[in-house]
Amino acid sequence: MDQYAIHGGNPLVGEVEIGGAKNAALAILAASIMTDDPVIIENIPDVRDTKVLMQAMESIGVIIEHLDRHTVKINSRLINGYSIEKDYIKKIRASYYLIGALSGKYKQARVALPGGCNIGLRPIDQHIKGLKALGIDVTLDFGIIVTEAGQIKGSHVYLDVVSVGATINVMLAAVLAEGQTTLENAAKEPHVVDLANFLNSCGANIKGAGTDVIRIKGVSRLHGTEYAIIPDQIEAGTFMFAAAVTKGDITVKNVIPKHLESISAKLMEIGCEVSESDDAVRVVSAKPLRPSHVKTLPYPGFPTDMQPQIAVALALSEGSSIVTESIFENRFRYVDELVRMGANIKVEGNSAIINGIPKYMGASIQAPDLRAGAALVIAGLAAEGTTTVDDIRYIERGYEDFHLKLKLLGAQIERIETERDLQKFNLKTG
Ligand code: UD1
């Protein structure tokens, strides 16, 4: 029954150390198999998604040595297969990066179609379009993506939709290609830039990452490197909203404030004080929260992965707000749960119309996906009474030690497994 039990009402106060970006780590781990030399990667978050990807890499002969909790040494010299079909790989979305990486280096791959969060249809047509443009033959074989290429040739690729995954997969497939690839309408997310920096540190020639045109000049080989993953923008943003919602004062440390600009701007707009230093951002929530309109957009717009967290805050604001989701079609599954906690939210199409309430009431709720799960935990922290959040395996896909970090900020939260644990928690928290 793994759940979080939360006794809400405490303002969260203090400092929290932000880990490495899950989504950058997934791309960079996959990319690391493209060199025969050892690669050392630091600041990998110890979360379920990175563990599953490393398990998949080990299944084809990649040797992964854990130097400490967040540092691995990867040796891919003895890869002995290109086929990753086991069921567990479907649990993570980013399994498809192995298609780009294996195809780019070994000219062949067989990878089970990805799963991941249940937030929408999540087609991969743009990935396939990009790979095909490079001369890679892509077919589907009963849920397995099969690629084969004689020679991979640089090309011109225009993405019809801005896709992080397709941008990363094309970069991976093009980095060892013959000639130059121009990728237009590319995603600009920080983890796209981080992957380009990692590959360049291995000898790749990638220019323009972070803009919407990326130019990749193929090189004949990649060499080893030592590289540290950027901090997780979404983990940081989640704690920033935890401050907003609990009337707290939280400093997120080890972050790149520039990556948090859209989040900081919205927090200020709804009445929080936000101050930045070189690698930290402090959020103080001392005034009543104000309503706002938000639309999720590709970077540098407001991230879809922060949409549930801001909705949790706006549901406590003094007035009416509209949250519009423009990236994924199924990202309001948490609304029913919030309504059970007393929120006044109506979903119409891809918008949530929110009328603020003074406070949430504790309830028994379920995490519908990774980010919504984290947002519901924050709602529980602001609620009166006890909240239990079920299905926390989703949250553990992307947040390392989430409840422990919250506890250090003064939250009353425990990870519980049995009814008895819940009784003990209730006795302790009164
Ligand atoms: C990545 C992130 C995820 C984040 C999302 C948007 C990882 C592992 N995951 O997901 O946390 O929420 O970016 O910032 O990094 N699309 C197509 N065809 C395609 C690919 C995408 O139509 O071939 C559409 C999607 O349905 C969606 C939009 O493009 O509407 C953006 O998706 P994309 O950027 O690809 O998301 P992911 O890479 O899957």
User: pLDDT tens digits, residue range 302-346?
Assistant: 999 999 999 999 999 999 999 999 999 889 999 999 999 999 999
Edge to edge, the sheet with strand 205-207 lists 156-158, 180-184, 213-217, 205-207
The DSSP code for 328 is: -
pLDDT single digits (tens) 256-309: 999 999 999 999 999 999 999 999 999 999 999 999 999 999 999 999 999 999
* Cα(316)–Cα(310) distance, integer angstroms: 10
Q: Choose which residue among 28, 95, 164 to substitute to test ligand 1 binding: the one with the highest number of ligand atoms within 8 A of its C-beta.
A: 164
Start-to-end C-alpha separation, the chain: 22
Q: Which of 195, 239, 243 is nearest to 216 (CA)?
A: 195
Tell me the pLDDT of the chain averaged across its residues.
95
Residue of the CA atom closest to atom 21 of ligand 1 = 163
- Percent of the chain exceeding pLDDT 90 equals 92
Taking alpha carbons only, the member of 298, 293, 292, 253 closest to residue 272 is 292
Query: Dihedral of CA 247/252/257/263: which sign?
Result: negative
CA dihedral 409, 411, 412, 413 (to 10 degrees): -100
94 lines ligand 1 (CB under 6 A): yes
* Banded model confidence at residue 96, pLDDT cuts 50, 70, 90: confident
Could you tell me the pTM of the whole model?
Answer: 0.96
Closest approach atom of ligand 1 to CA 26:
8
Residue 117 has pLDDT above 70, yes or no: no
Residue 293's CB is within 10 A of a number of other CB atoms, namely 12
Which candidate, 308, 320, 281, places its Cα nearest to that of 377?
A: 308
Phi-psi region of 12 (alpha: psi -120 to 50; beta: other; left: phi over 0): beta
Closest residue by Cα to residue 38 from 81, 83, 72, 80: 72
From 39, 56, 109, 117, the catalytic residue = 117
Which amino acid would we find at residue 321? S
Ligand 1: distance of its center to the CA of 233 in Å?
16
User: What's the gap in Å between 383 CA and the centre of ligand 1?
Assistant: 32
DSSP string, 52-72: HHHHHHHTTT-EEEEEETTEE
117 catalytically annotated:
yes
What letter represents residue 356's amino acid?
Answer: G
| Least confident piece of the model among 19-23, 96-100, 174-178, 373-377 | 96-100
Residue 118 confidence (pLDDT): 59
Ligand 1 pocket check: which of 140, 161, 192 to mutate, most ligand atoms within 8 Å of Cβ?
161
One-character DSSP codes across 5-37:
EEE--PPPEEEEE--B-HHHHHHHHHHGGG-SS
- Each residue's pLDDT tens digit, 148-164: 999 999 999 999 999 99
Residues 6+ apart with CB under 8 A from 160: 126, 129, 185
Chain segment 351-367, per-residue pLDDT in tens: 999 999 999 999 999 99
Specify the 3-state DSSP secondary structure of 270.
coil
DSSP string, 344-397: EEEEETTEEEEE--S--B--EEE--SHHHHHHHHHHHHHSBSEEEEE-THHHHT
- Rounded to 5 degrees, what angle do the CA atoms 129, 130, 133 make? 85
Q: How confident is the model at residue 33 (pLDDT cuts 50, 70, 90)?
A: very high
Residue 89 has pLDDT above 80, yes or no: no
Mean pLDDT of all residues in 220-246: 98
Residue 119 is predicted with a pLDDT of: 57
Helix crossing, 261-269 with 233-246: angle to 10°?
10
In this structure, the number of other CB atoms found within 10 A of the CB of residue 66 comes to 12
pLDDT grade for 1, boundaries at 50, 70 and 90: confident
The pLDDT score that the predictor gives to residue 91 is 72
- The amino acid at 49: D
DSSP state of 114: P
CB-ligand 1 contact for 325 (6 Å cutoff): no
Question: Which atom of ligand 1 is nearest to 122's Cα?
Answer: 26
How much is the pLDDT for 95?
Answer: 84
Give the pLDDT confidence score for residue 256 in this predicted structure: 98
